[in-house]
Amino acid sequence: MSKRISPAKLAAWGAYLEYSARIMVHLERGLKARSGLTMGEYNILLVLAQAAEPLRMGELGQKVVFAPSRLTYAVGVLEKRELVERCPDAGDRRVARVTLTAAGRAALRAAAGPHLEDIDTTVMSHLDEADAAHLHRIFTHLGQCLPDGATPPPK
């Protein structure tokens, strides 16, 4: 039998759910209008840009928290747009690695400035440094409390 969640905690959960849904819709709408990229596609490009080497599909999926079928589809879309490239792994040719193309780097650079400005304008400018640090601590803690079997955090 589970214990009852307090009204304050339920209110916090409700506020989080509403805010996270609304801000993601807003940010995705702006990103898509300015760059033609969805939030998921942008995140794939960002992760690949930060990687020291081409990533295996499984590694990429873990970092962007995508199910394998969703990742395959998204990478396929980006590949058709020539923003990423799949290549066989040198050590295991059954495995595909994904890398950013020059066009992908350019698309990410073009999208990043306006997207970060949107994040700053709609979210970060309303927080002081202490609030931002507090949110970071809260979400880091909650991420560490996920049960076994939950999607592991990006490394």
Any idea what the CATH number is for the domain that residue 54 is in? Answer: 1.10.10.10
Can you tell me the distance from the alpha carbon of 63 to that of 47, in angstroms, rounded to the nearest whole number? 7
149, part of any domain? no
Question: What pLDDT sits at residue 94?
Answer: 85
Q: Which token pair is 77?
A: 């879309």
pLDDT tens column, 9-67: 999 999 999 999 999 999 999 999 999 999 999 999 999 999 999 999 999 999 999 88
Of the pLDDT bands very low, low, confident and very high (cuts 50, 70, 90), residue 2 is low
Number of structural domains in the chain: 1
Whole-number percent of the chain with pLDDT over 70? 95
73, part of any domain? yes
Inform me whether the pLDDT recorded for 153 exceeds 70. Answer: no
1, part of any domain? no
Can you tell me the distance from the alpha carbon of 18 to that of 33, in angstroms, rounded to the nearest whole number? 23
| β-bridge partners, 53 | none
Which of 1-5, 65-69, 71-75, 83-87 is the least confident region? 1-5
> Which range of residues forms the domain containing residue 67?
7-144
82, part of any domain? yes
Can you tell me the distance from the alpha carbon of 67 to that of 44, in angstroms, rounded to the nearest whole number? 13
115, part of any domain? yes
Q: For 100, which DSSP code?
A: E
78, part of any domain? yes
155, part of any domain? no
Can you tell me the distance from the alpha carbon of 55 to that of 25, in angstroms, rounded to the nearest whole number? 28
Residue for token pair 């807003």 = 26
131, part of any domain? yes
Question: What pLDDT sits at residue 95?
Answer: 87
